[in-house]
Protein backbone atom coordinates (compact mmCIF):
# COMPACT_ATOMS: atom_id res chain seq x y z
CA UNK A 1 0.00 0.00 0.00
CA UNK A 2 2.80 2.43 0.91
CA UNK A 3 4.59 2.00 -2.42
CA UNK A 4 1.53 3.32 -4.26
CA UNK A 5 1.54 6.66 -2.44
CA UNK A 6 3.40 9.75 -3.70
CA UNK A 7 6.72 10.45 -2.01
CA UNK A 8 9.32 8.12 -0.56
CA UNK A 9 9.02 5.36 2.01
CA UNK A 10 11.73 5.15 4.68
CA UNK A 11 11.66 2.10 6.96
CA UNK A 12 13.95 1.23 9.88
CA UNK A 13 12.81 -2.16 11.20
CA UNK A 14 14.25 -5.39 12.56
CA UNK A 15 15.50 -7.61 9.75
CA UNK A 16 12.59 -10.07 10.02
CA UNK A 17 9.79 -7.49 9.91
CA UNK A 18 9.85 -6.74 6.17
CA UNK A 19 10.65 -9.26 3.45
CA UNK A 20 13.98 -8.55 1.73
CA UNK A 21 15.39 -10.86 -0.94
CA UNK A 22 18.95 -10.74 0.36
CA UNK A 23 20.79 -8.89 3.08
CA UNK A 24 24.53 -8.83 3.68
CA UNK A 25 25.63 -10.57 6.86
CA UNK A 26 25.35 -8.34 9.94
CA UNK A 27 28.68 -6.77 10.93
CA UNK A 28 28.37 -7.76 14.61
CA UNK A 29 26.12 -9.46 17.09
CA UNK A 30 23.41 -7.54 18.84
CA UNK A 31 20.20 -5.81 17.99
CA UNK A 32 20.36 -4.48 14.42
CA UNK A 33 17.73 -2.96 12.17
CA UNK A 34 17.57 -2.52 8.40
CA UNK A 35 17.27 0.99 6.99
CA UNK A 36 15.44 0.88 3.65
CA UNK A 37 14.40 3.49 1.10
CA UNK A 38 11.41 2.63 -1.09
CA UNK A 39 11.75 -1.05 -0.15
CA UNK A 40 15.48 -1.21 -0.98
CA UNK A 41 17.76 -2.07 1.98
CA UNK A 42 20.49 0.55 2.43
CA UNK A 43 22.19 0.03 5.83
CA UNK A 44 22.32 -1.73 9.17
CA UNK A 45 21.36 0.53 12.09
CA UNK A 46 21.29 0.37 15.86
CA UNK A 47 18.52 1.77 18.02
CA UNK A 48 18.17 5.51 18.56
CA UNK A 49 20.84 6.44 16.00
CA UNK A 50 23.71 4.83 17.88
CA UNK A 51 25.28 3.46 14.68
CA UNK A 52 24.75 3.39 10.91
CA UNK A 53 26.63 0.93 8.69
CA UNK A 54 25.96 1.49 4.97
CA UNK A 55 25.82 -1.48 2.63
CA UNK A 56 28.49 -1.20 -0.07
Pairing of strands 40-45, 10-14: unpaired
Long-range Cβ contact pairs of 7-13 (< 8 A, separation 24 or more): 8/37, 8/38, 9/36, 9/37, 9/38, 9/39, 10/35, 10/36, 10/37, 11/35, 11/36, 11/39, 12/36, 12/45
Domain ranges across the chain: 2-16+30-54
pTM for the model stands at 0.83
pLDDT (tens digit per residue) in 1-35 = 777 889 999 999 998 899 888 899 888 888 899 99
Amino acid sequence: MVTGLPGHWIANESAGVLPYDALPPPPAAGSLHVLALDGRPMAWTRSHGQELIWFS
